[in-house]
Structure 1
């Protein structure tokens, strides 16, 4: 593939100094931890956090923070130019359950906001990473060990917008040489941040309820198995993917996963550690969404191409979650 001289020269510059990175949507579930890891790797002043909310004092003290709305192209471009940005990580999105309640907002942020960052990547020769999701798959997708390339007919606005992200990013890569990168995340479990309105959020809420109330009423049925990942693995994998040599990537969108479980399975693991814990079930509208998603992901290409690996298994995640939340 031929790349313009400007892109080739950018690649040379990027290898001689640490990249300057803009993270949009940095106050969400992934953003705070990802910004921290990137600052440890590349230097605090080289990673600019941004969002449309007022950050805490601790976040402002940790490193640069700017107000940035991904729907405002001119505002974003000013930041890219003034801050000499090399990479954009676009985490701005409305997730599955929230997206169904606010469709127009989801379309705007997930598609138009991404289009702005993608066009900036083209115009200013930036590396861009925007995550996708298991929600990009649908009920006609093979549900066991779902491969990277397969039938994708999502049934949610969230999933539809993420297919748009994947296809547009790959198009810009092939046509304009944009260094677009994308990971299909499974459900992410975190002890550090509150759930963001996704269908897999029960897997975080259940720990809080188990410790506080010793019971949990789950909005998914007991046997609803979905692929999951612990946040520390997700963050480490994302940083590894971002820094992987371009020549090692055989595709632009990769599945990543760690383990799969159902509500009854995670409840049993918690009950081993908190014997008085009990779970009940009251499936709601999110059940239909979960039923359209894979039960497990085939991520062998990520493991082969750029060395993706998870450190936490299911038991390790449960132990760490309970330990961290108990301290809080």
Structure 2
């Protein structure tokens, strides 16, 4: 059976690379990108695009009906640091877009949905080391609250109405292709740009702040792998823990110095430090390994080499 895929929020950090990966895998004409704004030239030129507000229920229903969509990827969201500045707008975007799409799934307008959660669902009372799949989730940020609520709605619509919702709790994501979108882990992207441009970087987190991270290629691979897994193999319908590596700003800086020995880093923690302090330092993703064979490909050494090489080549 041929697929027709719609990606909502296709122009964001994850959405851009996910769209290109899906078009490469299933054919450009089979993957319809949509967002409230236009994206990179590569995304816009690689296949069909529809301008769409993901909080507009009628517009979503019209698009799903017109395209006879089979799979939906809902990537539209306001991220952690940005959401703290506009809580009501963040809640509206993060929650209403999900509820609209879930309701359209209940009506049978598609067969499978991917919706991303985040390590932001955890909070200061969550075990920080090897955070379990099932554990305390008491988020302290607007973003985290919306993701925790979303996980509950996803599980509810699956249990009550049979909507095939699949989800991953993404860690911090690192990519050279697109700019970060206002998250607390953005430093791990910005640092590479500054290292190459001027040889120094002022970090908004403390040097010893360990956070779970992942290279974007691993995140895209995990997403595709989960979506292609047989439904009967999936035991988690809230959101799967996902892990690749954890490091501190100081450890990342040292990894960069292997390639740029004169690189310097300084620290000026801001409001994002409080958010980072509420998150885990490392994640137990054994359930994803067991259910659908998850295994990351990038460690810190390989990630650093890839980021510096690609930013040099594409600057």
Question: Where on the TM-score scale, by shorter chain, does this alignment land: which range?
Answer: over 0.9
Number of corresponding residues: 312
| C-alpha deviation, 1:55, in angstroms | 3.5
Q: Which runs of 5+ in 2 are unaligned?
A: none
- 1:126, distance to aligned residue in structure 2 (A): 2.7
Question: 8 Å contact 1:26–1:51 — kept in the other structure?
Answer: yes
Match status 1:34 vs 2:21? no
- Residue of 94, 104, 112 corresponding to 1:127: 112
Mapped partners of 2:266, 2:12: distance in 1 = 29
Whole-angstrom distance in 2 between the partners of 1:193 and 1:187? 14
**How many Å separate the matches in 2 of 1:321 and 1:55?**
21
Q: How does 1:230-249 map to 2 (within 5 A)?
A: 230-249=215-234
For residues 220-245 of structure 1, the C-alpha deviation after alignment (integer angstroms, 9 at most, x for no partner) is 00000000000001101101111111
State the alpha-carbon separation in 1 of the partners of residues 14 and 74 from structure 2.
11
1:324 aligns with 2:313: no
Give the Cα separation in 1 of the matches to 2:101 and 2:127: 32
How many angstroms apart in 1 are the aligned matches of 2:14 and 2:298? 17
User: Shift of the alpha carbon at 1:18?
Assistant: 2.4
Q: CA–CA distance in 1 between the matches of 2:231 and 2:213?
A: 27
* CA contact 1:88–1:121 (8 Å) conserved in 2: no
- 1:275 is the counterpart of 2:269: no
Pairwise CA distance, 1:58: 3.6
Shift, 1:57, TM fit:
4.4
Counterpart in 2 of 1:147? 132
CA contact (8 A) 1:229 1:257 kept: yes
TM-score under structure 1 length normalisation? 0.94
Cα offset for 1:305?
0.5
Distance (whole Å) between structure 2 residues aligned to residue 242 and residue 319 of structure 1: 29
**2:97 corresponds to:** 113
1:38, CA displacement in angstroms? 1.0
Which deviates more, 37-46 or 264-273?
37-46
Q: How does 1:41-56 map to 2 (within 5 A)?
A: 41-56=25-40
Residue 208 of structure 2: aligned partner: 223
Q: C-alpha offsets along residues 98-126 of structure 1, whole Å, 9 cap, x if unaligned?
A: 00011111010001111111111111243
User: Cα deviations across residues 153-176 of structure 1 (Å, max 9, x unaligned)?
Assistant: 000000000001100000000011
| Partner Cα separation in structure 2 for residue 133 and residue 185 of structure 1 | 5
> Which of 128, 134, 137 is equivalent to 2:122?
137
TM, length-normalised to structure 2: 0.97
How do 1:1-328 residues align onto structure 2 when only pairs under 5 Å count? 17-124=1-108, 125-252=110-237, 253-327=239-313, 328=315
- Structure 1 segments (4+ residues) deviating >6 Å: none
Measure the CA separation in 1 of the matches of 2:165 and 2:94.
16
Aligned equivalents of 2:7, 2:149: Cα separation in 1: 20
Determine the C-alpha separation between the residues in 2 that align with 1:61 and 1:189: 24
Contact 1:188 1:228 in 2 (8 A): yes
Secondary structure at 2:258's aligned position in 1? Answer: helix
SS of corresponding position for 1:170: helix
- Deviation of 1:298 (Å): 0.2
Distance 2:287 2:76 in 1: 26
Secondary structure at the aligned position of 1:54 is classed as coil
1:219 Cα shift? Answer: 0.4
Structure 1 portions without partners, runs of 5+: 1-16
Give me the whole-angstrom Cα distance separating, in 2, the residues matched to 1:213 and 1:189. 20
Post-superposition offset of 1:20: 1.0
CA–CA separation in structure 2 for the residues paired with 1:210 and 1:74: 46
